[in-house]
Amino acid sequence: MEHGSHVQVGSLKDAFEAIRDLPVPAWDRRRHYTGERIVEYLFVLDTINFSFWGSGRGYWQLAEALRDAFARGEPLWEPEQLSSMTARRLRELVGDFPLLEERAAALRELGGLGTGAFQVSPSAVELARDLAGRLPSYADPFLKRAQILPADLWGAGAAQFPDLAELTCFADYKLPQALRHLNALQYSGELSRKIDNWVELPAGSEEETEIRAATVVAVDRLRDLLEEAGRPLLAIEVDWILWSYAQGLFPVRPYHRVRTVFY
């Protein structure tokens, strides 16, 4: 999707120049858990890795809280522990985040898989599809969190996959914010007014879907431009570069707001 009713993919010149020499961020072994239960940690982390905006706490606070819980021996690798998770218990473990009831429900879904809860497929694509097929909270049309889990397993050195190049970027709200800042995404006047005035968009709306679809297209095209320039990268690596780049943007226009379990 290059042109929609609300979003268009614009020139990628500025985005290409901004990231062409930026390093791919290394996996953060300080802020993530790195012990023997790293696979289980990443499953749990990515199962509740969504909807941080407006809370004052983000991904890193969640990753660190779970790191500490695993390090002190909280048995979150046991499916029966996840199956009985409540919002109150989750708040005790990680602190206050939006959608705590939904996060607890997602962990109960994961625990409900029993001994197969932490099964890692030899294929990144198969793992993403399996997660979306078995767990409703992962069944995002763009497979954001379903794809981020194999990418995280690979990034952490916990698994190897032969088909990582088939994964797309992780369509969220920080990437389109950065791409819009770099003129790679262009919004209609009406959509611009909504986003710039912090108007929440309905989950699954045409506007939200176009933003996310255009993000995937723009990142794929950026990846192709980088390869033509002699820097072959995976789409997920371009994603990591852009996500890191987005954290330091100031001043910058707001990101689109959607309250959802998908990202």
List the Cα angle 77/85/128 in 5-degree steps.
Answer: 60
With 0-12 CB in 10 A as exposed, 13-18 as middle and 19+ as buried, what is 225?
middle
| Bond into 141 cis (ω within 30) | no
- 78 contacts: CB under 8 Å, gap ≥ 6: none
List the Cα angle 143/36/162 in 5-degree steps.
Answer: 45
CB 174 within 8 A of CB 246: yes
List the Cα angle 215/248/226 in 5-degree steps.
Answer: 45
Count other Cβ atoms within 10 Å, centred on residue 136: 12
Catalytic residue from among 172, 196, 220, 239: 172
196 is catalytic: no
CB 118 within 8 A of CB 77: yes
Q: What is the rounded distance in angstroms from the CA atom of residue 4 to the CA atom of residue 208?
A: 11
Residues with catalytic roles: 172
